[in-house]
Structure 1
Amino acid sequence: MWALRTPPLLQSSQRAWSWACRAVSAGPCRAQKASPNSKYRETVLLPRSDFPVHLPGRLQPETELEIQQKCGFSELYSWQRQRKTKQEFCLHDGPPYANGDPHVGHALNKILKDITNRFHVMRGYKVHYVPGWDCHGLPIELRALSELEETEHLSPMEIRQKAKEFAEKVIEKQKEAFIRWGIMADWENCYHTFDRKYEAKQLGIFHQMFDKGYIYQDYKPVFWSPSTNTALAEAELEYNQQHVSRSVYVRFPLLKPPPKLASVLDGLPAVNLIIWTTQPWTIPSNEAVCYMPNSEYSIVKCADTGEHFIVAAERVQSIAAALDMQFDVISTCKGTDLESGMCSHPTIPEKQSPLLPANHVTMSKGTGLVHTAPAHGMEDYSVASHHQLPMDCLVGEDGRFTEAAGSELQKKAVLEEGNEAVIRMLQGSKSLLKEEKCIHSYPYDWRTKKPVIIRASKQWFINTANLKAAAQDALKKVKFVPASGVNRMLEMLDKRTYWCISRQRRWGVPIPVFYHKETGESLINRKSIENVIKIVEQHGSDAWWTLPIEQLLPSEALAQAGNVQDYIQGQDVLDIWFDSGTSWAHVLEDAGERADLYLEGKDQLGGWFQSSLLTSVATRKKAPFKAVMVHGFTLGEKGEKMSKSIGNVVDPDVVINGGNDHSTDPPYGADILRWWVAESNVFAEVLIGPAVLNSARDDINKLRNTLRFLLGNLAGFTPETDTVPTSEMYVIDQYMLHLLQGYANKVTTAYKEYDYGKVIRLLQAFHTRELSSFYFSIIKDRLYCEEEKDPKRRSCQTALAAIFDTVVRSFAPILPHLAEEVFQYLPYQKESDSVFRSGWMNTSPIWKKPGLEEAVEGACAMRDAFLGSIPGKNALEYQVVLVIEPGLLFELMEVLQHEECSSTSQLNEIMMASQTTLLSEVPRDISTDDMIKGTFLINLEGGDIREESAYKVIVLPAAKSKCLRCRKYTADSADTPCARCRETLGGK
Structure 2
Amino acid sequence: MTGVLVTNTTSEDEMSETKRGFYPKHRKSSVPSSPDFPTQETETLAYWKADDTFQASIDQRDAGKNGSNEFVFYDGPPFANGLPHYGHLLTGYVKDIVGRYETMRGYRVERRFGWDTHGLPAELEAERILGIEDKSQIEGEGAMGIKAFNQACRDSVLKYTKEWEEQVTRQARWVDFDNDYKTLDPTFMESVIWAFKTLYDKGLIYEGYKVLPYCWNDGTPLSNHELKMDDDIYQNRTDQTVTVGLRLETGELALIWTTTPWTLPSNLAVAVGPDIDYVRVTPKTGDLAGETVILAEALVSAYTKELGDDPEVSAPFPGSELVGVGYAPIFSYFEAAKAAGVADGTADEAGHVGPGSNAWTIIAADFVSTTDGTGLVHLAPAFGEDDMNVCAVNKIGIVVPVDDEGRLTEDVTDYAGKNVFEANRYIIADLRDVTGPIAARPAEVRARLVRAASYEHSYPHCWRCREPLIYKAVSSWFVKVTAFRDRMVELNQQITWTPAHTKDGIFGNWLAGARDWSISRNRYWGSPIPVWKSDNPAYPRVDVYGSFAELERDFGVKVDNLHRPYIDELVRPNPDDPTGKSMMRRVPEVLDCWFESGSMPYAQVHYPFENQDWFEHHYPGHFIVEYIGQTRGWFYTLHVLATALFDRPAFLNCVSHGIVLGDDGRKMSKSLRNYPDVSEVFDKYGADAMRWFLMSSPVVSGGNLIVTDKGIHDTVRQVLLPVWNAYYFFTLYAGTCSKGAGYDAKLVDVFDAAVVSGLPVMDRYLLSAARELFRDLRGELDAFHIPEACEKVRSFLDLLNNWYIRISRQRFWDEDPQAFDVLYTVLEALMRAIAPMLPLVSEEIWRGLTGERSVHLADYPDWDAAGHDSDLVAAMNEVRGIVSAAHGLRKAEKLRVRLPLAWLRVVSPLHEALADFAGLIAEEVNVKNVEVIGVEGSGLRSHQELALNPKGFAPEVRKLTSKLFAAQKSGAWQLDGDAVVFPGVCVDG
**2:401 maps to which of 394, 400, 411:** 394
Q: Is the 8 A contact 1:102 1:652 kept in 2?
A: no
**What secondary structure does 1:188 align onto?**
strand
Give the match for residue 521 of structure 2: 503
Q: CA RMSD in A?
A: 3.8
Report the Cα offset of residue 503 of structure 1: 0.8
Structure 1 residues 170, 799: CA separation in 2 closer, same or farther (over 3 Å shift)?
same
Out of 700, 719, 726, the position equivalent to 2:746 is 719
Secondary structure, aligned partner of 1:311: strand
Q: In structure 2, what is the equivalent of residue 282 of structure 1?
A: 263
SS in 1 for 2:112: coil
SS across alignment from 1:99: coil
* Higher deviation after alignment, 605-614 or 489-498: 489-498
SS at match of 1:127: coil
Q: What is the CA–CA distance in structure 1 between the aligned matches of 2:822 and 2:396, rounded to whole Å? A: 83
Q: In the alignment, residue 762 of structure 2 is paired with which amino acid?
A: I
Q: 2:239 aligns with which of 231, 236, 245?
A: 245
Query: Pick from 152, 166, 173: which aligns with 1:176?
Result: 166
* Structure 2 residue 732 is matched with structure 1 residue 752: no
TM-superposed CA distance for 1:670, in Å, is 1.4
* Pick aligned residue for 1:66 from 46, 57, 73: 46
With 320-329 and 612-621 compared, the bigger mean Cα shift is at 320-329
Q: Does 1:306 align with 2:286?
A: no
Q: Distance in 2 between matches of 1:856 and 1:382?
A: 70
Equivalent residue for 1:34? 9
1:731 and 1:345 mapped to 2: Cα distance?
92
- 8 Å Cα contact 2:91/2:627 also seen in 1: yes
Percentage of identical aligned residues: 25
Q: 1:359 aligns with which of 344, 354, 366?
A: 366
| Counterpart residue type for residue 103 of structure 1 | H
Whether contact under 8 Å (2:746, 2:821) holds in the other structure is: yes
Alignment of 1:335 with 2:361, yes or no, is no
Matches within 5 A, 1:499-538: 499-519=517-537, 523-526=541-544
2:631 is aligned to: 605
Secondary structure class of the residue paired with 2:103: helix
Pairing 1:114–2:89 present = no
Please state if 1:489 is matched with 2:470.
Answer: no
Matches within 5 A, 1:828-847: 828=850, 832-847=852-867
CA contact (8 A) 2:532 2:584 kept: yes
Matches of residues 377-416 of structure 1 in structure 2 within 5 Å?
377-405=384-412, 407-416=413-422
Checking the alignment, whether the CA contact within 8 Å between 1:64 and 1:669 is kept in structure 2 is no
Indicate the residue corresponding to 1:971 in structure 2: none
Whole-angstrom distance in 2 between the partners of 1:157 and 1:105: 34
Residue of 820, 827, 833 corresponding to 2:843:
820
Seen in structure 2, the aligned counterparts of structure 1 residues 871 and 744 have a Cα distance that, compared at 3 Å, is farther
Residue 744 of structure 1: SS of its match in structure 2?
helix
Write the distance in 2 (CA, Å) between the matches of 1:855 and 1:504.
69
Q: CA deviation at 1:585?
A: 2.1
Partner AA of 1:176 in structure 2: E
Q: How many corresponding residue pairs? A: 841
In structure 2, what residue type is equivalent to 1:726?
V
- Equivalent position amino acid for 2:377 in 1: V
Measured after TM superposition, the shift of residue 722 of structure 1 is 10
Give CA deviations for 1:440-478 in whole Å, capped at 9, x if unaligned. 111111212111111112221222222221211211332
Pair 1:408–1:785, CA change in 2 (3 A): same
> Does the CA-based 8 Å contact 2:58-2:103 persist in structure 1?
no
Q: Corresponding residue for 1:697?
A: 716
CA apart distance, 1:333: 1.2
Alpha-carbon displacement from aligned partner over 1:105-151 (angstroms, at most 9, x marks no partner): 11001111111111111111222432212110122112123223575
| Aligned: 1:646 with 2:626 | no
Tell which deviates more after alignment, 745-754 or 196-205: 745-754
User: Aligned-pair distance for 1:181?
Assistant: 1.3
Unmatched 5+ stretches in structure 1: 5-29, 258-269, 658-666, 787-792, 897-906, 917-929, 939-945, 949-988
User: Is the contact between residue 72 and residue 621 of structure 2 (CA under 8 Å) also seen in structure 1?
Assistant: yes
TM-score with structure 1 setting the length: 0.78
CA 1:629/1:881 → structure 2, altered by over 3 Å: closer, same or farther? closer
Q: Does the aligned pair in 2 maintain the 1:47–1:709 contact within 8 Å?
A: no
* More off after superposition, 464-473 vs 360-369: 464-473
Query: Which stretch has the larger CA shift, 158-167 or 462-471?
Result: 462-471
Moved more, 202-211 or 314-323: 314-323
Counterpart CA distance in 2 for 1:883 and 1:649 is: 50
User: In structure 2, what is the equivalent of residue 577 of structure 1?
Assistant: 594
Partner amino acid, structure 2, of 1:841: P
C-alpha distance 532-400 of structure 1, shift in aligned 2 (>3 A):
farther
Of 125, 129, 141, the match for 2:111:
129
Contact 1:750 1:756 in 2 (8 A): yes
| Residue among 832, 851, 855 paired with 1:809 | 832
Query: 1:674 Cα deviation (Å)?
Result: 0.9
- Is the contact made by 1:77 and 1:184 (CA closer than 8 Å) also made in structure 2? no
Assess, with a 3 A threshold, how the Cα gap between structure 1 residues 616 and 517 changes in structure 2: closer, same or farther.
same
Task: Measure the CA separation in 1 of the matches of 2:474 and 2:591.
Answer: 16
Are residue 368 (structure 1) and residue 375 (structure 2) matched? yes
Matched residue SS, 2:419: coil
Cα offset, 1:526, TM superposition: 4.6
What's the offset of the Cα at 1:750? Answer: 1.7
Give the Cα–Cα distance (whole angstroms) in 1 for the partners of residues 70 and 467 of structure 2: 46
1:934 corresponding residue in structure 2: 931
Q: Give me the whole-angstrom Cα distance separating, in 2, the residues matched to 1:628 and 1:803.
A: 32
Instruction: String of CA shifts for 1:248-276, please: whole Å, max 9, x gaps.
Output: 01111111x5xxxxxxxxxxxx3110000
Partner Cα separation in structure 1 for residue 690 and residue 550 of structure 2 = 46
SS at match of 2:73: strand
How far off is 1:48 after superposition?
Answer: 6.5
Name the SS of the counterpart of 1:808 in structure 2.
helix
Which amino acid is the alignment partner of residue 197 of structure 2?
A: H
Counterparts in 2 of 1:561 and 1:813: CA distance versus 1, 3 Å? farther
Q: Does 1:54 align with 2:31?
A: no
2-side partners of 1:839 and 1:573: how far apart?
48
Listed one character per residue, the Cα deviations across residues 475-512 of structure 1 (whole Å, up to 9, x for unaligned) are: 13321111221221222233332221111111111111
The structure number with the bigger radius of gyration is 1
**Counterpart residue number, 2:800:** 771
> Could you tell me which of 188, 192, 206 is aligned with 1:198?
188
Paired residues of 1:320 and 1:326 also in contact (CA < 8 A): no
Residue 594, structure 1, aligned to residue 600, structure 2: no
Q: Are residues 812 and 522 of structure 1, via their aligned partners in 2, closer, same or farther at CA, if it must alter by over 3 Å? A: farther
- Give how far 1:61 is off: 4.7
- 2:969 aligns with none
Would the aligned equivalents of 1:820 and 1:835 in 2 still touch at CA under 8 Å? yes
1:556-603 deviations in whole A, cap 9, x for unaligned?
A: x73448648623322211111111111122247535220112211111
In structure 2, do the counterparts of structure 1 residues 612 and 710 end up closer, same or farther at CA, with 3 Å as the change threshold?
same
Does structure 1 retain, via aligned residues, the 8 Å contact 2:61–2:107?
no
User: Are 1:203 and 1:533, in contact at CA under 8 Å, matched by a contact in 2?
Assistant: no
The DSSP-based 3-state class of the residue aligned with 2:177 is coil
Aligned to 2:768: 738
CA distance in 1, matches of 2:641, 2:879: 64
- Distance verdict in 2 for CA 1:763–1:172, change over 3 Å: same
Whether 1:161 aligns to 2:151 is: yes
Q: Distance in 2 between matches of 1:97 and 1:34?
A: 60
Paired residue for 2:608?
none
1:454 aligned to 457, 471, 488, which one? 471
CA distance in structure 2 between the aligned counterparts of 1:356 and 1:891, rounded to whole angstroms: 81
2: CA distance, partners of 1:325 / 1:201: 70
Q: How does 1:440-451 map to 2 (within 5 A)?
A: 440-451=457-468
CA distance in 1, matches of 2:578, 2:111: 47
In structure 2, the CA distance between the partners of 1:680 and 1:322, relative to structure 1 (3 Å rule), is: farther
Q: Note closer, same or farther for the CA distance 1:587–1:531 as it changes in structure 2 (3 Å cut).
A: closer
SS at match of 2:416: coil
Residue 844 of structure 1: CA displacement?
4.8
